[in-house]
Chain A
Amino acid sequence: MTMKKQIASASEKPIAFARDFFSYAIKGGNLYYGWLLFLSFFVLVGLYTAFVQMTTGLIVTGATDQIVWELFISNFIFTAHIAAAAVLVVIPAYIYKRKDMKDLAVLGEIIALTFVTIGLNFIMFHMGRPERSWHTFPGLGIFNFPNSMLTYDIIVLNVYLGINALAVSYLLYMRYIGKPMNTKLYTPLIYVAVAWGPLIHIVTAFILSSNAAISMWHTAVLPFAFLSMAGASGSALIIIFFLLIRKFSKMDIADSVIDFFSQVMAWSLGIIILVFAAEFFNELYPATHHAASLEYMMHGHHGLDAYVPWFWATMALIVIPFFLLLNSKIRKSYNSLLPAVSFVVFMIILIEKPAVLVFPAFSPTPLGEYAVYHPTAIEIFNVLFIWAVGFITLTLLTKGAIGVLTGEVRDSNTVETSGGAK
């Protein structure tokens, strides 16, 4: 090969990689297209509702001066759960050196990357003036560092996004061209990502607990609650995700991997129960003003009882799956009960965010007013829009990554070595 050709191929390869990756990603069976089409419906509707919100203002959401945070930010907290939990795939692979999970780590990083992106989109929708978000870019705008917790969150989320995007694309690209990775470069990146995962979530908890005026959040257990919820909801998603991959692709995922996550989910639920018990005792026994929001959720206040059924249902559906998962028969029922329980855990922690953590916390307001949140249709469709975009990204990235990992997507010049390039 001449010099000229070498240079040409060096610049062509990343382009060829992206082309091969996405052309593989968009190919699939009827079910695959059906799924993408289903998500596209919400994207189409969402384009309209997003336009309405961006041109009319946040008045089209259910948020008021009484209840300041909408569905967007409660969903953002949930996406931070999942993004943080994605390190649960990376840790066994790289720290415990589990062979059965080595190849799966990259899927965990894809989950992290996708959910941070979804979370950032939620923050964009949450902001009253998203076009001014450049005010938070270092250099262009001003950071209120080290005072504002939101500033920290912007930093940690973007760094986490960057680390994961870099790690994923580097690993997949090296696999694609069939060259071994530079572990001196890659391993430190992974270790930083592992440490950074919990960090994004602790900072997210600080955003809430730094507000002395919202007494329900003004508690030191919030980061622990968040991390245990991340362990439960993240594992739930990963189980469903891996079971689907195992069913629909050539990717091989061992039962031991699923077992690992069902155990993490079970014990995370156990820790959530303990954290809730500690928090409820702490609030209800002294029964100071700090307990007002919790009492409002549990019993309502002068007839305002919209949150009461949500609260009790959430509590029940966190406790019941814990006891179910203690049973090894249920943990082993990969094709029936386990995905069902995982789905319930995922949904209940998603619902817990607005219905228990966020909306009731704003009542009573600092001046003692009680209110109920009513999400609007535009708000709900905007939330679905962001989720749909997120799931499309997750689906395409995962499909492409599986293609690379299983060797179906390969640089045509690569000579196949035995057992694939490593």
Chain B
Amino acid sequence: MSEDKRKSEMVKEQDDGKEQGNGKVKESRRDFLKKMGVAAAATVAAPAITSTTAEAVSLGETFQTHFELMSDAQKEKAIARLEKRYTEQFGKQTTVANTPAPDGVLFGYALNIAKCIGCRRCVEACVKENNQSRDPAIQWIRVLRMERGNDTFELENLHKGSPDSNSLGDYGIQSGGHADKHVGLSGAAEHYYEPEQVPEDNAIYFPVQCHQCEDPPCVKACPVRATFRDPNGIVVIDYNWCIGCRMCQLACPYWARRFNWGEPELPNEDMNPKTHYLGNRPRMRGVMEKCTFCLQRVREGRYPACVEACPVGARKFGNLLDPESEVRKVLATKKVFRFKEAFNTDPKFFYYMD
């Protein structure tokens, strides 16, 4: 692998980006804050005169505390630092919002598994909206494909019962079924399917993403409280506080957390510059990330990207505390279930059928 080549290309892209970024500068409150942030970062880095802005920014980031514990002024500084850095790095005027959680809202999600056709447009939309790394590829939504129905049942296994007839005699007690040779299987899932077209006749699809648990095992497992539930019931991560120990990834029964094993690669042209501190801002190496119901959108009253992208309307989203919301109507009128109820995590993500 030409790791070095890839790196040098990335550096080149960053340099190109700087020029573009300087080309179009808009004066705004954010820019003012940004300048303040740079000034602050420069103060921190004052002893090292030769250090570049990027180094000064990362120095400031290194010593910042957990986002939820910062004062408003510290938050503004931290955000200004990030905006400066992302704008330089990606050559796009990048904003990092800190839109607060709206009051009186508990976000819920309902997914119609009878309608899902396994096209994975939701996955694509999610990757684009949330600035996921393209290489190594990180995807927050995983669509499981399951074989439909009974064609896996085979007659020849019908009489391979246990106990088999053997030298001790044929007692003929168990007439069918066997621990190792089942007559038929169902429910075996895989998520690497690549069909010519969807939906396939013999398949059903089951998308899985973060279930935004009421009692999240990941939050319990994190040694530094880098992951926590926001007031709207969404489980979020402070990417600058995560130590990369991956205890949360082990704890999650939905396999919903993704780790940045290497430096995430996000091409400048694909980068979404409208970001949120706890949501879709570009992540760094060695931290955990996950679906946040597109926090940067839903806190502003918009739908998550996957809901908008679904071509068959299988995805519904809304406020669980509002009886008139779409998602509450689904819960009231459809056949609804939650995935892996035995784990007792009480997800805010529901599956339903018509």
* A contacts, CB < 8 Å to B: 56-59, 63-65, 68-69, 126-133, 135-136, 141-144, 147-151, 154, 207, 210-214, 287, 365-369
Contacts and interface: CB of A to CB of B under 8 A. Distances in A.
A128 to B, nearest CB: 2
Top 3 closest pairs, chain A to chain B, by CB = A128-B244, A128-B286, A59-B262
Interface string B248-288: 01111111001111110000000000000000000001110
Interface in B163-189: 179, 188-189
Given A127-B243, A128-B243, A135-B224, A59 B250 contact: no
Given A57-B262, A127-B245, A128-B287, A150 B223 contact: yes
Contacts of A58: 244, 259, 261-262, 286
Contacts of A131: 62
Nearest to B263: A57
A209 to B, nearest CB: 11
Contact of A154 (B223, B255, B261): B223
A59 B255 contact: no
Interface size class of B (residues with CB under 8 A): 35 or more
Interface string B60-79: 00100010010000000000
Given A128-B260, A130-B243, A368-B188, 11 more contacts: A56-B262, A65-B255, A128-B242, A128-B243, A129-B243, A150-B245, A212-B217, A213-B217, A214-B250, A366-B254, A367-B142
Contacts of B285: 57, 128-129
A80 to B, nearest CB: 16
A382 to B, nearest CB: 15
B190 interface: yes
B261 A144 contact: no
B144 interface: yes
Given A128-B260, A135-B243, A366 B255 contact: yes
Contacts of B287: 128-129
Contacts, number: 131
Nearest to B241: A135
Contacts of B62: 131-132
A369 B251 CA distance: 16
Given A59-B262, A136-B243, A151 B223 contact: yes
B237 interface: no
Q: DSSP class of A's interface residues: helix, strand, loop or mixed?
A: loop
B220 interface: yes
A129 B242 contact: yes
A142 B189 contact: no
Contact of A148 (B223, B244, B259, B261): B223
Q: DSSP class of B's interface residues: helix, strand, loop or mixed?
A: loop
B231 interface: no
A211 B345 CA distance: 13
27 contacts: A57-B260, A58-B244, A58-B261, A58-B286, A65-B255, A68-B246, A69-B246, A127-B245, A128-B243, A129-B243, A129-B286, A132-B242, A132-B244, A136-B223, A142-B224, A143-B224, A144-B222, A144-B224, A150-B247, A154-B223, A210-B221, A211-B251, A214-B250, A287-B179, A366-B252, A366-B253, A367-B144
A159 to B, nearest CB: 16
Contacts of A143: 223-224
A148 B247 CA distance: 9
A213 B253 contact: yes
B329 interface: no
Contacts of B335: none
Contacts of A65: 249, 255, 258-259
Given A128-B246, A129-B243, A367-B142, A144 B262 contact: no
A57 B225 contact: no
A148 B262 contact: no
A311 to B, nearest CB: 18
From B66, B225, B287, name the one whose CB has the most chain A CB atoms within 10 angstroms.
B225
B190 A369 contact: yes
Contact of A367 (B3, B191, B223, B261): B191
Contact of B261 (A57, A132, A142, A147): A57
B343 interface: yes
Given A57-B286, A59-B262, A367-B255, A68 B250 contact: yes
Nearest to B247: A150
